[in-house]
Amino acid sequence: MDFTSNVAASHWVGLPSKGTHGHSMVQVFMALEGSELEAFRAYAEVYPDDTVLLVDTIDTLESGVPNAIKVFEELRARGHEPVGIRLDSGDLAHLAVRSAEMLDRAGFPGVRIVLSSGLDELTIWQIRNQIVEEARRYGLDPDQVLGRLVYGVGSKMITSEGDPALDGVYKLVAVDEDGEWVPAIKISDTPEKVQNPGAKRLWRVYDRRGTATADVLALAHETLDDRPLRIHHPTIPGVGRTLGERDVSGVEELLVEVWRDGSVKFELGGVEEARARRRADLERLDPGVRRLVNPHTYHVSLTTELRDLKWKLVQQFS
């Protein structure tokens, strides 16, 4: 590993940090009535000789790459050459081929294509083999496409299979504008990567047995007091269920404020208290969810209002 995007780690080992901008930069512009193109221009203005643009916040081929090409043309007109684009979701091999085709046609055959998103040696091998098969369909030289690739390997390099990484990522969901939270969204070809926008609360719903039946994401102003309660699958439109009065024995808010304005608001207690909380939570899970082989799926769902906001923003920016 030559560099890392982790600024603190870079400082500690005495190396400059390296990386591209995040989805959050594009999301801020979109949330504040700007655009992906404006975000790209802002980044290129600050880093004219190191411009690598992350192109999959909205739609890689319909929005990201065309907007990147516009900015690259503007850079070249000012005497600078762009460095590359980054792909972070979807079918990376296919998107790399199509992006290479678009960049070549626009006169940027030397622009690098950075791939990221949980890469390891097997994934990279599969991507390279797929590119060899697909490139010729679009009139491209497979070796030329492979030669311009850069691989952003992170989690799989710094962890081992015996001590795996928690696959959690940071994505911006809201922007504070004059004290009001403006919802933001990141769109992806991978449905699971389209995050749930806005400031939110998290609730646990217990069925009539007192067993946890679902965790439900709601917008910050929502409660789950009304019945019937309609909850929705977070990524599959039209899939959900309705919980009536007889189906629910109670709800519990899961997020607890621990720290605010420099002072502790909630005492976590010691190890024994943590163990007791863990045992209590496990005991309220259905045995089918807890079994090790072929366990039932424990569902995390969305309220109707959050579901509607999410798909409204998807349609707005697609």
- Report the candidate in 284, 291, 290, 289 with the shortest Cα–Cα distance to residue 251: 284
Report the topology of domain 7-158.
TIM Barrel (3.20.20)
- Report the candidate in 71, 56, 137 with the shortest Cα–Cα distance to residue 103: 71
Report the topology of domain 196-317.
nicotinate phosphoribosyltransferase (3.20.140)
Mean pLDDT in runs of 10 for the chain (318 residues)? Answer: 74 79 94 96 96 96 98 98 96 98 98 93 93 95 97 75 67 93 91 92 96 97 95 94 96 92 87 86 94 90 97 91
The pLDDT value recorded for residue 11 is: 83
The stretches of 32-141 forming alpha helices (DSSP H) are 36-46, 65-77, 92-105, 121-135
Give the helix/strand (H/E) hosting 114.
Answer: strand 112-115
Amino acid at 164: P
In the beta sheet, which residues pair with residue 300?
215
Give me the torsion for CA of 214, 220, 225, 227, rounded to 10°.
-70
Alpha-carbon distances of 133 from 86, 92, 93, 113, rounded to whole Å: 21, 14, 10, 18
Please, are residues 8 and 17 in contact by the beta-carbon 8 Å criterion?
no
pTM beyond 0.85: the answer is no
3-state DSSP call for residue 149?
Answer: strand
Amino acid at 26: V
What are the residue boundaries of the structural domains of the chain, listed by start? Answer: 7-158, 196-317
Residue with tokens 């089918």: 288
**Burial state string for 255-285 with b = 16 or more CB within 10 A and e = fewer than 16:** eeeeeeeeeeeeeeeeeeeeeeeeeeeeeee
The pLDDT value recorded for residue 121 is: 85
Amino acid at 263: S
The pLDDT value recorded for residue 158 is: 66
Q: Cα separation of 20 and 81, whole Å?
A: 16
- Report the candidate in 77, 22, 15 with the shortest Cα–Cα distance to residue 53: 22
